[in-house]
């Protein structure tokens, strides 16, 4: 195998672990009773945007696997089929965000900030939606009995999952829209003719945003 394939593999392992640790030690930042920002999908989007669909899907799969083997998934695991769907299929599907990589590379190379952010938004919406579609379906089939008396499983699953979907999607968009990250990097790359891949990683702000907005779970 050529040397160039090793880097994405290492990044997949690293970013999946970062997603797992973020989920473990942090709690969502509440914006009110209905929506809480949660940044933990960002590492998987970084993989998708840097290396494409397959790397994103592998990262998502490993993140799901880590939750299962460490027991973190225990509260969300009802049956084998449900667990497989929600931890392996759903998390792998975040990688669909990587379909925008060719368009993103092009936009970045052209120095087109607006286009870069539009393409990133499309990727984030696609990946989040694909993941949460599975949670919604699983919610109807497997979690329906937890619905309040008289509420349909469809409505119950929609309410529960749409609120998490919004919190995770919005948080991811906020990180990528941070003016000190993507827009600044697009300019830098254009000027210095650097490798376009640095755009999505060469910024400590991305990680700073995680740290600043999170409390440790043990505090709460
Ligand atoms: C209505 C309902 N309740 C719970 C779940 C399970 N669920 C939802 C979202 C995300 C995850 C993975 C861990 O973050 C799980 C297990 C559901 N699908 N529907």
Q: Closest Cα to residue 116, out of 103, 98, 126?
A: 103
Q: In the predicted model, is pLDDT for residue 103 greater than 70?
A: yes
* pLDDT tens digits, one per residue of 60-94: 999 999 999 999 999 999 999 999 999 999 999 99
Q: What is the mean pLDDT of residues 100-124?
A: 90
Which of 137, 161, 167, 168 has most ligand 1 atoms within 8 Å of CB, for mutation? 161
Give CA–CA dist 14/86, Å, rounded.
Answer: 22
Q: How far does the centroid of ligand 1 lie from the alpha carbon of residue 77, in Å?
A: 9
The least confident of 19-23, 106-110, 122-126, 194-198 is: 194-198
How would residue 28 be classed by pLDDT, with cut points 50, 70 and 90? Answer: confident
Q: What are phi and psi of 39, to 5 degrees?
A: -95, 5
**Ligand 1 pocket, 135 CB below 6 A?**
yes
Average pLDDT, the chain: 85
Q: How far does the centroid of ligand 1 lie from the alpha carbon of residue 139, in Å?
A: 7
The torsion angle over the Cα atoms of residues 29, 168, 20 and 104, rounded to 10 degrees, is -130
Q: Closest Cα to residue 37, out of 160, 129, 166, 146?
A: 166
Ligand 1, atom 15, residue with closest C-alpha: 76
C-alpha distance from residue 121 to each of 126, 131, 141, 168 (Å): 8, 15, 30, 13
Would you state the structure tokens that stand for residue 119, as one six-digit string? 């393409």
**pLDDT for residue 95:** 98
**pLDDT for residue 129:** 98
Asked whether the whole model's pTM tops 0.75, one would answer yes
């Amino acid at each position: 195998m050529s040397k160039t394939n090793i880097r994405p593999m290492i990044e997949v392992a690293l970013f999946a672990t970062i997603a797992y640790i973020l989920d473990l030690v942090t709690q969502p930042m509440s914006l009110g009773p209905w929506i809480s920002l949660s940044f933990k999908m960002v590492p998987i989007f970084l993989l998708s945007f840097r290396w494409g669909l397959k790397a994103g899907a592998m990262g998502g799969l490993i993140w799901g696997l880590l939750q299962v083997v460490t027991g973190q998934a225990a509260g969300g695991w009802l049956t084998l089929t449900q667990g497989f769907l929600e931890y392996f299929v759903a998390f792998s599907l975040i990688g669909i965000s990587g379909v925008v990589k060719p368009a993103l590379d092009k936009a970045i190379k052209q120095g087109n900030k607006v286009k870069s952010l539009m393409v990133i938004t499309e990727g984030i919406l696609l990946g989040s939606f694909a993941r949460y579609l599975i949670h919604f379906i699983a919610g109807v089939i497997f979690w329906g009995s937890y619905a309040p008396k008289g509420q349909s499983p469809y409505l119950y699953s929609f309410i529960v999952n749409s609120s998490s979907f919004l919190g995770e999607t919005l948080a991811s968009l906020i990180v990528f829209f941070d003016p000190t990250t993507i827009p600044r990097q697009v300019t830098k790359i254009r000027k210095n003719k650097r490798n376009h891949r640095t755009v999505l990683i060469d910024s400590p702000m991305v990680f700073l945003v995680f740290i600043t907005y999170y409390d440790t779970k043990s505090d709460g």
